[in-house]
Amino acid sequence: MKLLTFAASSSRQSINKHLATYAVSLVAGAEIDLLDINDFEMPLYSIDRETESGIPSLAQDFLDRIAQADAIIISFAEHNGSYTAAYKNLFDWASRIEPKVYQNKPMVLLATSPGPGGANTVLTTAVSSAPYFAGEVKASLSIPSFYDNFDLVTNKLSNTELNSALTTTVNNLTENKQS
């Protein structure tokens, strides 16, 4: 199984990148494609810009990476209760080419934050909207208080309950697969 994973954050020190990278490592035998959305930075979307200059080729490159995957794991950072501007912009450009951005891929959606909310607001939005963009959400999980529950030295969840929940969550990508 080829798993595409990324953090929906442009931060170079993204805690969601740590979480996504760790989560994908829990899927036995997976071929991992770790995407950095910073590699897909484009001008802010507007219909005027699209009309004048067309759609940047990076939007198609992003869609191609999704197309090449068997499944997707995304960990969402939350900015003021919503998607980061960097992810939303990338998504908006890609959706102008293919409205079914997630291309019927099975997905696990995650989120974390330094606080007790665990970016649950953006995660709830992502889970509810993914089906409109052809995302098949198999499971989701919010990890609260990242720095209290994740060991940055070992790059693993240190909270055994949350680690068990994450393992169960990501294993939803391989359960019920037909041979």
The per-residue pLDDT for range 60-108, each reduced to its tens digit, is: 999 999 999 999 999 999 999 999 999 999 999 999 999 999 999 999 9
Q: How far apart are CA 170 and CA 26, in angstroms?
A: 7
What distance in Å separates the CA atoms of residue 173 and residue 179, rounded to the nearest whole number? 14
Q: pTM for this structure?
A: 0.95
Q: Given pLDDT bands bounded at 50, 70 and 90, which one contains residue 176?
A: low
The residue among 75, 68, 83, 79 whose CA lies nearest residue 33 is: 68
3-state secondary structure (DSSP) of residue 6 = strand
- In which residue are the tokens 């009309």 written? 51
**What does the pLDDT read at residue 178?**
42
Q: What is the pLDDT of residue 174?
A: 85
Q: Which of 142, 91, 169, 22 is nearest to 5 (CA)?
A: 22
CA 62 to centroid of chain Cα atoms: 13
Residue 56 DSSP SS3: coil
| pLDDT at position 172 | 93
Backbone angles phi, psi at 102, to 5 degrees: -85, -5
Q: Which of 146, 80, 83 is nearest to 114 (CA)?
A: 146
